[in-house]
Amino acid sequence: MNNNGFGTRMFKDPSVKRPELDALIARAKEAYNAMTPEQKKEMHRQQRISWVYGNLALSNPSITREMVEKAAEDWP
């Protein structure tokens, strides 16, 4: 059991009401499902770039997003 108390009850306890969050999640799912396969592929690519940049920049501030985007040109 996670004892850090950081939001764990909200996500595990179905009695906790969160209508605003549930509405936002529903809208996000609808938007994703409305995307074409090409749009999804590009969104996933941008998410990978963002994740890689964020993680690399933490340990090396000289890394730029442009550097990661250039490297991503060779990714499948």
The residue behind tokens 């549930």 is: 22
CA distance 33 to 63: 34
pTM for the full model?
Answer: 0.66
CA distance 49 to 69: 6
Structure tokens at 36: 């074409």
Express each pLDDT in 17-72 by its tens digit.
889 999 999 999 999 999 999 999 999 999 999 999 999 999 999 999 999 999 99
pLDDT at 1: 46
- Whether the pLDDT of residue 7 is over 70: the answer is no
- Whether the pLDDT of residue 12 is over 80: the answer is no
Do 48 and 72 meet the contact criterion of CB atoms below 8 Å apart? Answer: yes
The residues near 33 (Cβ < 8 Å, ≥ 6 apart) are none
